[in-house]
Structure 1
Amino acid sequence: MKSLFKEFYPLTEDEYEALWRDGIIVLDTNVLLRLFRYKEQTANDLLTTLDKLKNQLWIPNQVAWEFHRRRLTKIDEGRKAYKDVIEVLKKSSESIGLSIETFKGLGLHPVVDLERPVSTMREQLSKLISEVEEQYAANPPHAHYGRLLDRITDLYEGKVGEGFSDQELESLYKEGNLRYEDEVPPGFMDKKEKKDRPPRELYGDMLIWKETLRHARQLGKGVILVTEDQKRDWWERTTDGRTIGPLPALRKEFSSEVGHLFHLYRVDQFADWAAKRLNVKIKPESAKEIREEAKTAQGNQESIEKWIMRWDRNTTEDILKRSRIFSLSELTRGGVGEGGSAAPNQGERVDEIRSAAGLSQISAREVELLELKSELERLDELLLKISMEMKILSKQKEAEDEHYLRNLQDQYRIGYVRRRKLKTLIRSIIDSVDEVGKGGSDGDFL
């Protein structure tokens, strides 16, 4: 049976040995681009390993095209990430200082000295930022990037695929459309994400695959393909998400078209196997970085821009609406639960919370306690974000911004008073509700 369904069986040790000894080694675009994101030592260690396999390396024309188109973008992303992190650190230090100054007027603590440790922390952070900026200035990255490009170019000199003619491409695009509709791997997972892109980008994975098949068929050899792509149009996975290996459909097509073996590696797996077989030593810290990057490479990675809070004139109003606090008068009035009274629709809320929690019995006071806890959490989020916005605006000198800043400061002060009232009210309800401790301690609510 195995002879008829080889694609469903793992390779034997002899087959692995044959592939590593005689197979063509193809690196996907994402692997080459990742070299520009690794630390210098990690990139050098991996390139040294690849140099030992130089005679087996080959690069599809599509990979080379994608690499050259995207290389500078990847470099710029790295530079921007560094600058953004430094800016976040600077803003964090300033925000801490601003928060202390804001709280001073409200009274911090009669015994605990917060100002001294906060001041020390800010000084240490400022010193660290200065040291990092000095190192960056002394080690401009463009020289490193230039050396990387030279080494990669040297590795693939005379080993670039010839690609496809315009006529061949048009035919392949039509075939690609049919393959993607029928979810024939690889590449069909890109049909939504890249549907509005040019066909050479939309069908990029399929073009790499087709060119690799053609080259392997011409040489009569198997292929090892190394990729950071983790999508299911390359890999077979169990229902709980564990990766088994390359899709059987890929192995079957390769065997039918070429008559030889095909295997797929993640870059960290490839580096480990290559180091063992070639007796190449990769530093532990380099191996660790390759493993960690491989784990996080696939998926929709959030760029550092999403970690940075960016504000506009609508930000505060949006937060206020989400927090059910719509104006200074609403803050002053106190909102939900002020004075210990239940909301007008208390009966409906009791039924709703009972249903959501699967409870048959829950008192109106317990419902009020849950709502007050929720309001306190929203208010804490609001105060933090207003504080961040005040810090940003405090640097600006425009009259309009100064007026807006004063309004924010008023909101912050009133909101903080409201927070103290909420905590007092919650404590009083906790004391009055029987067996409230069954669901958690007072700390759960405060």
Structure 2
Amino acid sequence: MRNEFAWYLGAIALDFDHVWTTGVLTLDANVLLDLYRYNAETRESIFSAIGLFGERVWVSRQAAGEFFSNRRKVVVSAALDFDHARRAVDGVRKAVTEGLTELRKLRLVPRQVADGLEGGFTDAFEKAAAEIEAARLVHPDHFREDQILDRLLTVFEGRVGDGFEGERRDGVIREGVARYKAKRPPGYMDETTKEGDRRYGDVLMWLETIEFAKAAKVPVVFVTSELKEDWWEKGSGRILGPRWELLKEFHEQTGQPVLIYQTERFAHFAAERAGASLKPDIAREIREVSARRGRIQPPAVEVEHLPQVAEADENLGTLEIELLREVMMMTGSGRLEPPMAGVPEVRATVTASPAGCPPLDVRCATGTTFDFNVHIRPIERGRVLPVGHYVVEYECAYDASGSVDQDGG
């Protein structure tokens, strides 16, 4: 029995110190991409944890490829947090204004009550807006100078896997099809949420990691931000540990132990080994980023905003929109820099679309001076937008004496 279940007995009696001091660290693509989502302190804690392994690091070609394929989208998405924050503050301001209006209608309540509240809230809103803008200004522009990318390139220089090519890759994907049918981890939960060969990314990465450990004859510390059940055994609402199938397969194929961590646990143990403890704020941010990613469906559109005129009273340009999956409506957003002098009138026209695209209904919306949205859907109900490239020409104009019309054509 000991021989038959050596993988299990080894896992529960594993010499963790031996694996940490002799094993090779490898990271899933989501761990690398999350570095763009963290604040500076959390990001440094992850780099410090990686640094404990020195040259004992390696990344699969599959994970590296996914990192580079998704990097631009993640950089853009992370920068949009400032817009979301500004809109959230504007939403609270609107709700407070409406509440104060109702309060002033109550004639038995002294007017100074509402006036006092308004003064305090106004100061708070202005401070919040200023702090958000200050944070935006110091946020690094990763398209112009990407220190995160530079550091990762240095860490993994000469330490990237060979991956699978040609017939070997086709064979692994066929194996992935069979594994998913049998609900064998990892990755089977991607079958319905990703398209094409992308759904087999976890299998490609996992089997490449196994081949590396087998050839190098080394233990592996594997870190992922995945939360899904095709990586983790769950019970009573808790994650109990890695799926036993993964531990068994790794041991049987390589003869080596593997430690599989979520990012937070990895950062926690790394801090302990460095003689410190992981700060609660860092742990909380890692959890929040992982949870948020788990709730968000992969984006249907990629948008490139190309302004041609950017003035306080006029902004003209195009939105280049790549639709990645069929949808019934899509939205392209643009940023107005510098902010316009007032909320503008927005008009837009689709000037290019994929073959077979039905007639389109185009509507524009904005309630701010710093961004706008273009909503596109088929005129005929029940039709979908085909996958492909769309070009939208837009015009934003502010006239202090005019009114705002939010519909375009």
> Is TM-score (shorter-chain normalized) higher than 0.5?
yes
Partner of 2:259, secondary structure, is: strand
Match of 2:167 in 1: 167
Q: Is the 8 A contact 1:176 1:206 kept in 2?
A: yes
Q: Find the partner of 2:207 among 210, 220, 237.
A: 210
Q: Find the partner of 1:300 among 279, 295, 302.
A: 295
Task: Structure 2 unaligned segments of length 5 or more: list them.
Answer: 299-366, 368-399
Q: CA deviation at 1:155?
A: 0.5
Pair 1:297–1:163, CA change in 2 (3 A): same
Q: Is the 8 A contact 1:186 1:250 kept in 2?
A: yes
Partner of 1:270, secondary structure, is: helix
Residues 385-442 of structure 1, C-alpha deviations (whole Å, 9 max, x = no match): xxxx9xxxxx9954878xxxxxxxxxxxxxxxxxxxxxxxxxxxxxxxxxxxxxxxxx
Are 1:248 and 2:252 counterparts?
Answer: no
Aligned residues: 307
- AA aligned to 1:210 is L
Pair 1:198–1:300, CA change in 2 (3 A): same
Q: Is the 8 A contact 1:225 1:264 kept in 2?
A: yes
Task: Structure 1 unaligned segments of length 5 or more: list them.
Answer: 304-388, 390-394, 402-446
Partner of 2:295, secondary structure, is: coil
Q: CA deviation at 1:186?
A: 0.7
Residues 331-365 of structure 1, C-alpha deviations (whole Å, 9 max, x = no match): xxxxxxxxxxxxxxxxxxxxxxxxxxxxxxxxxxx
Partner of 1:224, secondary structure, is: strand
Q: CA deviation at 1:78?
A: 1.2
Are 1:32 and 2:29 counterparts?
Answer: no
Match of 1:116 in 2: 116
More displaced stretch, 63-72 vs 13-22: 13-22
Match of 1:134 in 2: 134
Pair 1:100–1:244, CA change in 2 (3 A): closer
- AA aligned to 1:57 is V
Q: CA deviation at 1:241?
A: 2.4
Q: CA deviation at 1:229?
A: 0.6
Q: Find the partner of 1:265 among 255, 261, 285.
A: 261
Match of 1:337 in 2: none
Q: Is the 8 A contact 1:90 1:126 kept in 2?
A: no
Distance 2:119 2:220 in 1: 59
Cα RMSD for the two superposed structures:
3.0
Distance 1:25 1:59 in 2: 8
Q: Is the 8 A contact 1:267 1:294 kept in 2?
A: no
Are 1:79 and 2:76 counterparts?
Answer: no
Pair 1:56–1:36, CA change in 2 (3 A): same
Q: Is the 8 A contact 2:7 2:252 kept in 1?
A: no
If you compute each CA radius of gyration, which structure gives the higher value, 1 or 2? 1
Q: CA deviation at 1:94?
A: 3.8
Q: CA deviation at 1:88?
A: 2.4
Distance 1:9 1:258 in 2: 16
Pair 1:399–1:103, CA change in 2 (3 A): farther
Pair 1:245–1:299, CA change in 2 (3 A): same
Give the helix-richer structure, 1 or 2.
Answer: 1
Q: CA deviation at 1:5?
A: 1.8
Q: Is the 8 A contact 1:7 1:248 kept in 2?
A: no
**Sequence identity percentage:** 25
Match of 2:48 in 1: 48
Partner of 2:184, secondary structure, is: coil
Match of 2:233 in 1: 236
Q: Is the 8 A contact 1:228 1:297 kept in 2?
A: no
Distance 1:143 1:68 in 2: 13
Alignment of 1:316-335 (within 5 A): none
- AA aligned to 2:265 is Q
- AA aligned to 1:272 is H
Q: Is the 8 A contact 2:24 2:221 kept in 1?
A: yes
Pair 1:50–1:396, CA change in 2 (3 A): farther
- AA aligned to 1:288 is A
Are 1:288 and 2:288 counterparts?
Answer: no
Match of 2:337 in 1: none
Match of 1:88 in 2: 88
TM-score using structure 2 length: 0.67
Answer 1 or 2: higher relative contact order, Cα 8 Å, separation at least 6.
1
Q: Is the 8 A contact 1:223 1:262 kept in 2?
A: yes
